[in-house]
Amino acid sequence: MASWIIIGFLILLLIVILKFKGFRHMQNRFYIVVIILLILFFYISASKVINDNSINLKSFNGWMSLVKLYFTWLGHALGNVKVVVGNVIKMDWSGNSTG
């Protein structure tokens, strides 16, 4: 329940920031949106790692476990993205040639 409240708050914060007159320029908007999306990604992915591995964040060892597992998870995720992109590049994109 608390996760959805935090995610909702960040999305609401994004909407409010984009409505301010000082952030009407596309470059400012882009940076704010990227930062908030990175925060959302970090929060959601860290929550997933914490829940899947039952990590206790009340101790220093729990935090160290989170950091180790999170970066291991992130490395595997980026490795999977690399494999998918490599396979997409290798595909035949010439289309159908009948004739």
pTM above 0.85, yes or no: no
Report the distance separating Cα 48 and Cα 43, nearest Å.
9
pLDDT band of residue 36 (cuts 50, 70, 90) is: confident
- Residue 80: per-residue pLDDT: 95
Of 16 and 46, the one with more pLDDT: 46
Q: Which residues contact 79 (CB under 8 A, 6 or more apart)?
A: none
pLDDT (0 to 100) of residue 48: 85
Dihedral angle over CA of 60, 43, 10, 34, nearest 10: 120
The ranges assigned to domains in the chain are 1-54, 56-90
